[in-house]
Structures are given as C-alpha cells and as structure tokens.
Amino acid sequence: MIISLDVLSEDHVHRIYRHYPRAIYGLAFAYAAWDEYCSYLAQAEDLFITASAAGNGRLIGHPQGEPSFTPQALADWLRESVLPFEYFGDLYIAAPGADRSYLDGLRKAMGPRYEGRIFGQFGLPSGTLQPPVEAHWVEAA
C-alpha cells in the first residue's frame, strides 16, 4: 500500500501512482486524519509512505504544514491507524529532504521488532518510488 502525506487529493494520488504495479505497491491512498488504513493493509504487505521533509529533515508530511510527523509521531500514527495486528511487512519511507537520522529515529520509535524492516529513500523527487530491491533504499540503523 502507498500512503501519500504530501499529496492530499485522492484523485491526484491515483493519477501519480496508476502506473505503479499493484502487485508490488498495492493500492494508493491520500492521507486523511480520520482514516483507519489497517483495514486495507494486509499483514505481510509492504507499506510505502511518500512525504516531503520540513524542519531540516526532522519532520515529514505535507510541504505546507499538516500532516507533519516527527519519527515518534509517525510511529504512533502507524501503530494506531495504519498497521494491522501482527503486521510483518516492511516499511518504506520516501521523503525528499529528510535524511537517515529521521529513518533511524523511526526505527527506534517502532522498537526492536522492526529491525531490518524500515527503509528510506531521500534523494529522488516526490512521488517517485523505486521497487524494494533497488539500491536507492537505505536501511534504518
């Protein structure tokens, strides 16, 4: 599944990601504060989050403000509204302008169960996702 934090129009998200293979990326959604994404995400499905970075890379989300997540706030939101019970897929964060410290903070906030399961890409344009096996993805420490 793809959740876009930086493009909040559902139609725009569908136009951006319509050519992405659904077998790899799943369905694409725009962020909505009220949505419980856990009903759409399978336990073993990879989750891709696209966002923009702000605050010198300490926050990711929408470039004009909300939503905006610190690593801890993103971890809390993922656990409360996105990840299904006993989730064992991988997390992929694509946030141009962020850096590895954000990714490492998220891994720490998610806890030891997520060691080796959180990856980020920071240098590609917003809305660009590489397949999970590509070298553009950096593993959280």
pLDDT in tens, 39-54: 899 999 999 999 988 8
Domain count of the fold of the chain: 1
pTM confidence score: 0.93
* Cβ neighbours around 1 below 10 Å, total: 19
Cα pseudo-dihedral 108, 113, 117, 121, rounded to 10: -20
Q: Are 101 and 70 in contact (CB under 8 A)?
A: no
Beta bridge partners of 91: 47, 118
Residue range(s) defining the domain that contains residue 90: 2-139
Average pLDDT value for residue range 73-79: 97
